[in-house]
Amino acid sequence: MGNPEAGTSRIHNPIDFGKTGRQAGHLQLPPDPTTGSAGERVPIVCIANGSGPTVLVSAGNHGDEYAGQLAALRLIRDIEPAQVSGRIIVVPIISTEASRANTRLWPSGANFNRSFPGNPDGPVIEQLAHFFSAVLFPEADVVIDMHSSGRDGWIEPCSHMCVPKDPVQRKAMLEAMEMWNSDFHFFYTSAGNYLPNEAERQGKIVVTTEFGGGTRIPVAVQALAWNGLVNVLRHVGVLEGEVVTRASLGLPPPIFVDCRYDNGSVGEAVSGLMDFIKAPVAGLLEVLVETGTPVAEGQPIGRIWSHLDPTRQPVDITSPFEGYLMGMKTLPVVEQGQSLALIGRQVDRSDVLAKG
């Protein structure tokens, strides 16, 4: 299968990827008849100097995930062309309207991270996905797309990766992922229509992240977002400066966990592509375990109290297997069937490299 064709895009791109120095502008999207939007402007910056790899840095794939957007904006401000060998292309806030509205999804209700590889003749969101697939990914060697959990949840701050089949690509991705120097890294899979799926299909080194979530960004989490981003850019050789490792920082090795869908492993509780535990009933969620801590099989990690009947016993949410609690809903109001918790099984780095 070839790459999507760039010439078919209707999105106006002000950046000349052949030029050195700093360029800043906006991708001009066409009007969206489904929402009445006059046509969004998506900021894009290219910082190029000399020879070296091209890295695409993006955030705001989901609008309400802000730590990555802030790190990308700071990158644009702080990096001078003289510090760069190659090119850094930054799209700091992909879903600009959703970011302003504090929503995960676009005003049309569509999810940018389920819109790949995109369609130049489809809805505007698919046109933008197609622009990434047909114009931005082919320019890049490395693709970094930064996420958090969104406004209602928390995922342990970390870098992660959607595991590709190719062992050479997998190793390069794992080594880049580790350069974020987070306490955890997790492996996931996806349905094939995510941004990393298409970038990986085109052979890129792809690193994705989770930086907590909710409506408060702890200073330490924003620092992890920034320091990790800078360190990965140094690791791939596009940015000047010394690479640091967890060992050089005096930190213990990271913990690798597998959050991939394991068919049937958690029975009724699982739905979707990560092992998210779903709420069996509606009510008020009391969290019993902090993310990033080990959990035993059968251990209660939360309980759901009834809104209506204070005499009713709460419903316990238990871990279906031994692992680490990687993510948890933080907004206590839950609806039946909502994703509540993400558990990862600890895995060996060498096993992931050997088996995928």
- Kindly list the residues in this chain that would bind Zn ion in the complex (CB under 5 A): 62, 65, 147
Q: What does DSSP assign to residue 31?
A: P
Smallest distance, Å, CB 255 to Zn ion? 22
Nearer Cβ to Zn ion (172/177): 177
Place of tokens 């974020």: 180
Q: How far is the CB of 144 from Zn ion (least distance, A)?
A: 13
- Output the smallest distance, CB 4 to Zn ion, in A: 22
Question: Can you state the percent helix, strand and coil of the chain, rounding each to 5?
Answer: 25, 30, 45
**CB within 8 A of 201, min separation 6: which ones?**
1, 117
Q: Whole-number minimum distance, CB 148 to Zn ion, in Å?
A: 7
- 32 — phi, psi (to 5°)? -110, 105
| Rounded Cα–Cα distance for residues 99 and 102 (Å) | 5
CA–CA gap between residue 40 and residue 311 (Å, rounded): 51
CB closer to Zn ion out of 62 and 170? 62
In angstroms, give the least distance from the CB of 207 to Zn ion: 14
Between 132 and 295, CB nearer to Zn ion: 132
Q: 3: which DSSP letter?
A: P
Between 49 and 330, name the residue whose CB sits nearer to Zn ion. 330
Residue 206 or residue 238: which is nearer to Zn ion going by CB?
206
Q: Which is nearer to Zn ion, 65 or 275 (CB)?
A: 65
Residues 40/29, Cβ–Cβ less than 8 Å: yes
Q: How far is the CB of 70 from Zn ion (least distance, A)?
A: 15
Order across the sheet with 300-305: list the strands.
315-318, 300-305, 283-287, 333-334
Maximum CA extent, the chain: 70
Q: How far is CA 262 from the centre of its chain?
A: 21
Q: Quick check: 135 and 46 in contact, CB under 8 A?
A: no
As measured in angstroms, the least distance from the Cβ of 184 to Zn ion is 17
What's the closest the beta carbon of residue 212 comes to Zn ion, in angstroms?
12
Helix 219-235, helix 66-78: angle, nearest 10: 50
CB closer to Zn ion, 210 vs 258? 210
The token pair that represents 348 in the structure block: 């060996």
Q: How far is the CB of 131 from Zn ion (least distance, A)?
A: 19
CA distances from 146 to 48, 159, 195, 303, 317 (A): 21, 9, 11, 31, 29
Answer yes or no: are the C-beta atoms of 281 and 275 closer than 8 Å.
no
Is 301:316 a contact under the CB 8 Å cutoff?
no
Structure token pair of residue 118: 């995109």
**Which lies closer to Zn ion via its Cβ, residue 54 or residue 69?**
69
Q: Which is nearer to Zn ion, 84 or 136 (by Cβ)?
A: 136
